[in-house]
Amino acid sequence: MTTIKKTGIGILVVFTLLILFAFWYKWQYSMDKAESFEVNSSELPNKVLIASQGSDFKMNLVSSIIDNLRDKEVYLKVIDVTDLKNVDEDSWNAIVIIHTWEYNQPQKDASKFIDGAEEPEKLI
């Protein structure tokens, strides 16, 4: 076998391993969908929307926010960030967005919502 063939096979093997690693990494570390739920009455005057992704860290953060606001007169709703496209910004006093940056880019639904926000001062 010539040196050129060995080099070509080596490059092909490395390329294949890199592709397999990329698929494994995406599968292993991609975010789950966050479960939607509500806390307190939607009739309360103050309303906070929390858009998150499903991971242990993010759900612990969401739980901490809820624990701090549960006893106050605040309606809280938790949704997945992929559902931000259905959100009426005017219905909320504050919108908390918790998402992951992958490959130096924000999650696309979160980024699109933030870029199109009419009142960015509401966003956290």
Domain borders along the chain are 1-30, 37-122
| Residue 109 contacts residue 84 (beta carbons within 8 Å) | yes
pLDDT tens by residue, the chain, 124 residues: 788 888 888 899 899 999 888 888 777 666 778 888 999 999 999 999 999 998 889 999 999 999 999 899 999 999 999 999 999 999 999 999 998 887 788 889 999 999 999 999 999 9
d(CA 3, CA 44) in angstroms, rounded, equals 74
d(CA 42, CA 15) in angstroms, rounded, equals 53
What single letter denotes the amino acid at residue 71?
D
| Residue 62 contacts residue 98 (beta carbons within 8 Å) | yes
| Residue 113 contacts residue 87 (beta carbons within 8 Å) | yes
- With b meaning 16 or more CB within 10 Å and e meaning fewer, what string describes 74-84? bbbbbbbbbeb
| Residue 80 contacts residue 53 (beta carbons within 8 Å) | yes
Total residues found in the chain within this entry: 124
| Residue 73 contacts residue 44 (beta carbons within 8 Å) | yes
Q: pTM score, two decimals?
A: 0.75
Beta bridge partners of 123: 95
